[in-house]
Structure 1
């Protein structure tokens, strides 16, 4: 055991703010829970399910990051409550109809992967939970076992874009009325297809005949065959593999991800977004490699395909150790980057996902750009900010070619670098920064649905350029908790009539700052991402995951084989013990640790293990320079 020997009578501001954030979220979460749930844990909502397939994810997303906060060091209450809420919402949705055998009956994996991250965090937080282990197996078998109906092992494809515990959910609509009726929500995204006769604009859908025509096309083209967005399911299989170690789950990942890699390679690297039941790309789209559900053409394009390929690469790599899988997301990023352009802000601020790249829009000379970018209804401003040049890439591709130019969000290359820690992937980030026209060091107070978006200033901090970033991002996180709490307290809505997004926009738990600062990693990919980080902590005294009470952690450097970590015990009377693990899944090995001794000399100690313990006497701190060898152990969900 290494013992901290540096007195810390006055803890640094970042350490105090970090512990304050844990406390603030615990208090706010109780208020949120009391407001929006019944005594049995179910969400206060309507008693009947509307005629739609959508919505299951939004119920679970009300608590999606609560077990992650526990994993970081949040109160025991977060795990207990997160498990209770998962079980209660599952019962609620089963009674309402869209959940069957505790798993979603059938919907697209873009949406399913949003809320099943909740389940993966639960499994990582307590891998001995017998009911969750049984669920993980049962959920994975829906795809690994061909008898469940979802997977075709001959053609190596998932048989429908909508899939789940009910098997393939054929078609796009359940009702006979298959009209694709106009809705204001479509405005940022436009039409799903360019070739439906008579339907040239969204306004054409106001005509019931044309709406029916578009609906029929959607029902046929989106109703069967595999789509690239189904790669989001790979984390479901990886979760079962990490829990059980059963080879058949790893074998399935190799087979399924490998099939999509082959299709992408045959298409010049860009992943085709659809494949028919015969195994032919473009089978239901006149041979087009684009046009599948949640594919290149509609609605989000690169946004969701980048996430799906990153998730798939991570899952396949964990199961095999084969780094070639990282080429799949690389090909997509390089494909759009090679088509980049420089356009004025006025031409791109209304793009389909403007509200997602708010954190990038601090254009030259316009510090307010980041705040108004997310408002799609903002009025044009007759000043120079509208002409601020921006480097953008095409997110979507249709019959007219590439379109929907937006900034390349650093979320994707940062997630890739976090997976590989390779110089080549860091170079992608460096090139992006060099090309951008704004200061990456700026910290803007905002919080999107993904609880991410501050990768730029954090990456600068890791390079030693942004020394006050920890305090600034913690201030942002505390501000966001306060804003969510105010929104909860001011909410007077009739909860039995609210829409399915009502809770998630008020969830006061935010984890991005804590993941970055304590783990030296970006926030997990929202659509299905596992927790990938170079290290993780356990409380040596309470024998549970996460930082002990009163302990703050800061990863100051996070490189391929070297990390610099500060640990501070803010308690002036109690000793704490921190177990430091190499890798979120124990996949790495610590080689050595260097730290300052009381005499001022540097002590260097060999470790040669996946974990080591640090004793933190009252009011003490330690700065550890750690070296590691990566990916030498089989990854698993470890216990203390």
Structure 2
């Protein structure tokens, strides 16, 4: 079995850090403290909420289709923390919980042969984040590699599940999985009435049924039954645009050994949706009927499908799926032309933007914006429509920055950088402000991070690390104060208590945005390996800070915060090894004008002046090894050729002597 290129690569060039740390930078101290705090925190979570077999302690009811994602989401970012440098036993813990939850959900009827029986990819994508993270953190695990292939096979044209119709180029139902197309909707929605109070903010699922023009009309049982029947017939069949997130399954499998069957299916499926967008005048539709015709079940409308432009989330679901597919296209081809499918929805809503305050605007998801904007929620700012129905655009909200940021991250194209700049210029708030919150996606700090990379927010590293530590502290306090029992807690309870945070570490150590929560893979801009120990992540005592990013350049500081033990760090340009480092420029220590240089004469009361210079060396490969003696630091300016190699899962090299 292939495990990528890791074992076949030549030993990377090595440089040695020589500049004394001196006064330790606060960001480096806080970063290492965060690693330590997270190590304590995930263990506390596991003790409180997990059974010995790895499953979650839960004795409550099961919904007919919804809910499996919530079990996996409790651990969604644990493998990522390991990949960044978390505890040695964290990877085994993540696998243990994946296996335990999978067995638990199998018993409850959600899972068949280790994969969900059938649900929409807005939620399936959330379920898969833990699995994708394990695959990326340990591509050498043959059991998870076999699962990756088996899960991707479910959507190939040859699969006996029948999920995919190659003639119409459609996934046959919005709910799909190991059991094949799962037609219909949640059984709880068979009568879709006003008793479903949690769905009220999203309004009517279908808006063209005679006699049902408002939410209040669903109080009539007859109307509720008609709505449920129409949803089953029209929303429960055909293809939905959120199924684009299934391309992550195929891409993840392809990354193991470049089996072109997976690549060809994913690219062909994305191409089918691109053609549909062209047929709709550049608008990415949200629904396709069984025959492959847009609007077949919705009176010819390009909107109205499950988790589509009209209901329940609009851009929040459509945009995520489109950008996930766009990023996967780049990984599969090494080209950036596939980013257009993700750009289209963002540019579409931007053409209908308005200015308004969050506090004065009716929107379906407001709580996230009150947290993200704080007092600025009352200031006029750019709002884009998230949804569309017969009456036009509605549900105006601030732009979800993660989407344009991921397009920029994937391709480094000027047009994607310009799109972000337009959003910044039109925003009515200061992008430098770092607020203390954590949302479901563990995202939302993109604006101050981008301001930092522009050189306008120098305090961002310490501020966001402080926020992360405060959020870990709060989650630990919530766990300590929690008196719920397995039979009384809500299935979202674990997500709200998960104390593992990775957004700040991803920004600072790798130069990467937080993963797209509805099923994205996580191609890191920079990845690290502990050369002595042969495992992913930063070694003990080492802190990293990506402080500048360009289309062909990444700059990172590495600091040894300890007092003993030389560390050897392998820096990889792209966690999937896709970029080539052409040269590295690094700062070096020179001897002082007088005397022997650092650390100087022991009889002196102060260290000698530190004089630094720079040197540039060729690299010519995807990796560079950096030796860091205790109390030393280095800044690396890596000049890159982006996407020079096929993306692949990579195993760390064997431990160096």
TM bucket (normalised to shorter chain) is over 0.9
Q: Secondary structure at the match of 2:154?
A: helix
Q: Is 1:321 paired with 2:323? A: no
Residue aligning to 2:71: 59
Q: Deviations over 1:445-487 (max 9, x none)?
A: 1000001000000001001111110000000000000111111
TM-fit CA distance, 1:412:
1.2
Q: Is 1:16 paired with 2:7? A: no
- CA–CA separation in structure 1 for the residues paired with 2:57 and 2:49: 6
Q: Secondary structure at the match of 1:503?
A: helix
**Counterparts of residues 106-255 of structure 1 (less than 5 Å):** 106-144=118-156, 145-174=158-187, 177-255=190-268
Q: Deviations over 1:81-123 (max 9, x none)?
A: 0000000100111111110000000000000001201111100
**Counterparts of residues 398-547 of structure 1 (less than 5 Å):** 398-547=389-538
- CA–CA separation in structure 2 for the residues paired with 1:556 and 1:369: 27
Is this contact kept in 1: 2:329–2:339, CA < 8 A?
no
- CA–CA separation in structure 1 for the residues paired with 2:115 and 2:409: 30
Does 78-87 or 335-344 show the bigger shift?
A: 335-344
Q: Secondary structure at the match of 1:63?
A: coil
Residue aligning to 1:287: 300
Residue number among 290, 299, 303 corresponding to 2:316 in the alignment: 303
Is this contact kept in 2: 1:357–1:453, CA < 8 A?
no
- CA–CA separation in structure 2 for the residues paired with 1:516 and 1:346: 29
- CA–CA separation in structure 1 for the residues paired with 2:211 and 2:510: 54
Residue aligning to 1:262: 275
- CA–CA separation in structure 2 for the residues paired with 1:352 and 1:528: 22
TM-fit CA distance, 1:23:
0.6
- CA–CA separation in structure 2 for the residues paired with 1:189 and 1:174: 19
Is this contact kept in 1: 2:117–2:177, CA < 8 A?
yes
Residue aligning to 2:360: 347
Is this contact kept in 1: 2:388–2:394, CA < 8 A?
yes
Residue number among 70, 74, 84 corresponding to 2:82 in the alignment: 70
Is this contact kept in 2: 1:538–1:580, CA < 8 A?
yes
Change (3 A) 1:343 1:176: closer
TM-fit CA distance, 1:295:
0.2
Q: Deviations over 1:43-99 (max 9, x none)?
A: 10017x534200000000010100000011111121110000000100111111110
Residue number among 1, 9, 19 corresponding to 1:6 in the alignment: 19
- CA–CA separation in structure 1 for the residues paired with 2:408 and 2:15: 30
TM-fit CA distance, 1:179:
4.2
Cα RMSD (Å) of the superposition?
Answer: 1.4
Residue aligning to 1:381: none
TM-fit CA distance, 1:146:
3.8
Q: Secondary structure at the match of 1:624?
A: strand
- CA–CA separation in structure 1 for the residues paired with 2:130 and 2:504: 18
Is this contact kept in 1: 2:358–2:369, CA < 8 A?
no
TM-fit CA distance, 1:176:
10
Is this contact kept in 1: 2:310–2:389, CA < 8 A?
yes
Is this contact kept in 1: 2:80–2:502, CA < 8 A?
yes
Structure 1 spans left out of the alignment, 5+ residues: 363-367, 371-384
Is this contact kept in 2: 1:146–1:152, CA < 8 A?
no
- CA–CA separation in structure 1 for the residues paired with 2:189 and 2:545: 57
Is this contact kept in 1: 2:164–2:172, CA < 8 A?
yes
- CA–CA separation in structure 1 for the residues paired with 2:190 and 2:358: 41
Change (3 A) 1:230 1:176: closer
- CA–CA separation in structure 2 for the residues paired with 1:358 and 1:168: 39
Residue number among 363, 378, 395 corresponding to 2:386 in the alignment: 395
Q: Give the TM-score normalised by structure 1.
A: 0.94
Q: Deviations over 1:616-636 (max 9, x none)?
A: 001111011110000010100
Change (3 A) 1:412 1:93: same
TM-fit CA distance, 1:171:
0.9
TM-fit CA distance, 1:8:
1.5
Is this contact kept in 2: 1:418–1:532, CA < 8 A?
no
Residue aligning to 2:604: none
TM-fit CA distance, 1:177:
4.7
Change (3 A) 1:462 1:51: closer
**Counterparts of residues 544-559 of structure 1 (less than 5 Å):** 544-559=535-550
Q: Deviations over 1:513-540 (max 9, x none)?
A: 0000000111111111111232111111
Residue number among 98, 101, 104 corresponding to 1:86 in the alignment: 98
Is this contact kept in 2: 1:181–1:208, CA < 8 A?
no
- CA–CA separation in structure 1 for the residues paired with 2:549 and 2:267: 29
Q: Deviations over 1:563-595 (max 9, x none)?
A: 111000111011111000011200000011111
- CA–CA separation in structure 2 for the residues paired with 1:101 and 1:174: 23
TM-fit CA distance, 1:398:
0.6
Q: Deviations over 1:133-153 (max 9, x none)?
A: 111111001101342210001
Residue aligning to 1:374: none
TM-fit CA distance, 1:497:
2.5
- CA–CA separation in structure 2 for the residues paired with 1:303 and 1:192: 16
- CA–CA separation in structure 2 for the residues paired with 1:269 and 1:497: 48
Is this contact kept in 1: 2:194–2:216, CA < 8 A?
no
- CA–CA separation in structure 2 for the residues paired with 1:360 and 1:265: 35
TM-fit CA distance, 1:40:
1.6
Change (3 A) 1:177 1:603: closer
